[in-house]
Structure 1
């Protein structure tokens, strides 16, 4: 009797398999080494394979799809309720096999190689920015111990460092000057790495048609556009509507309702923190520049700011931007600021 569904628990070297037949009877539970995994699935009749969306999942999913299998990735938090007993590889694989067979289960979109390349570029750039921020704070903190206080802006520190190193009357010892010069070299190196990453992002944004389309939206530049493409793909077909995308990013209200009483909280902050941060920062810039403008979006922002504070307005605009992103990608259309005006629709 052939296997129709498999739960595959991924790891670095040891993989656990749990397979069932069309009667939901367990007919295969096996542990495989990394070198045995692909050979095992090559011998199987194409079936449904479920995996948690964890490290290496997209790679293995692409490999298994090439063999004719149907692969679906599940967020780990959706697998957890199906785990029976204590946590171990066998129970995890059984839980994945059970979860992937549920008709109402939501799945994680499979990333292409191009998406992973673009996402890796963003992850590296984000880490470099964090390292540069830490380096700036370290330099300012050490200088503060010698009674030297510089302005908080990184541009001010870049300008002040050569002057501090050349000033023989500021009380810095030769040993500390050598250390400070090394920290300055580190800062210059990080600036160069970030500048290189920025050029790569801008090149990707120019060459990608959908990224160019997203940059038509206010508050979205090359970094945000390419980050969106890396996260959700070229057509956003995995989301049924714009609100689903906004909820996936974590820009919709959380809910804690019971007994027929609806209680909405602040935004849920689910999904990709990096993506949500970019959208909100972009929205802040749009809110800041909307005053005095008469286009539909600016009028909506001004009306919202008159009722609520600017932080809430920025998050609301980020939510609206996410919905417009879905509309542009799913409908393969350019941004039209007057879309729906002829039908009397509101923004």
Structure 2
């Protein structure tokens, strides 16, 4: 149960207070209600505090006797003898003044408590608002850092776009110049053909007749040229155009046969793809494309890269990952990632990779005979 002050009837929460030493009273008072300061109370001795009497008990105690008062001598005075001269007419106004003071002090104490309560509540509210502002400031600071990073990435991409635009412009100008020069050269060639018609290409038989080379009649097979009886001189050999002889078909004259260009043994076959979707006996595998990814942290593993790629695609995609072993010491890791050709474009998006990671298409070069060519 809370102890209350007998002066203001409020709870005593302070450690310093005064208690009446009378056994029938034992009332407790605030120091403010008794108009006492903390320094003054701390200066009291324990003996004085144990014998302290409250103001109410002090007022009810009788006055002391006058046995120790010195006896007046037998002297006569001119003072008139009247009951009023022996009766004390002054009332005890100290008790009334004390009660009025106590009332005003209680009122002041109540007002001070209310004021203190208001100050505490306002301070608590201000503290909460300060915490809220601090949290908002921290969140704003993190958002600003993220925006700075995004702006840096956008600037880099914008610079790359500007470079590509300049390259495209230069390439378009070169293309226009090349087209104009091609048109001029075509027109020049056409004019030359119109002005100087090309003489007919001499046949091999006519060349031989002009040089008057004697050739023996040798039985020959079809599509085989005969060998001349006399050796052909270097001057005669240079006068003939071998390329024209191979391209044209010579008419058969006498013992000479027609010679045609030999066909290519290995013709260029067109590669075709199957389109039967109902076949279940055998299944084909999609062609893979490979991506070279580097500038990753040195402790990056194949498992962590597989987890990252699985997050890029919504479905399960067969992935082949190989970590590159560098011949020289480097501060980053490199990987070769193989995915189906239909999933390659999504893997090449810049949004699929973190900042500072670089990637490009991996091109397989021709390997030596000792190394395996079928990597996948």
Same fold by TM-score, threshold 0.5 exceeded? no
TM-score normalised by L of structure 2: 0.18
| More helix per residue | 1
TM-score normalised per structure 1: 0.19
Structure number with greater Rg is 2
